[in-house]
Amino acid sequence: MKEIRSFIKSASLTDLEKAQALIENAIAKYTQQQQAKQEVLDLLREKGLTLDDLQDVAGDKRTKVMPKYRIEFEGKIVEWTGRGKRPKAFQGVELTKHLA
């Protein structure tokens, strides 16, 4: 707000009119977006849906890969799918001995 007050004090009439037009456009756009959001929420309520119902549709489509290898390392069980960089627990280890 300090920047706006400073601008108002030092701006010319044409600059103020341009700023007023920009602000009016921003307010109109914001108002339209709020109305659109309310219409969507009203439609969801009318159909008996929630926002969570919509998020389930667009969920993660990657499949979960089961671990292929399992080893105890420093008192913890470490599992690895065999994909990506080999974890420290599996460095220099015969993998066939640790199949899950």
Distance, CA of 21 to chain centre: 33
pTM attached to this predicted model: 0.49
Nearest to 69 by CA among 51, 53, 87, 55: 87
Tens digit of pLDDT for each residue in 42-60? 999 999 988 877 775 555 6
| pLDDT at residue 56 in the model | 58
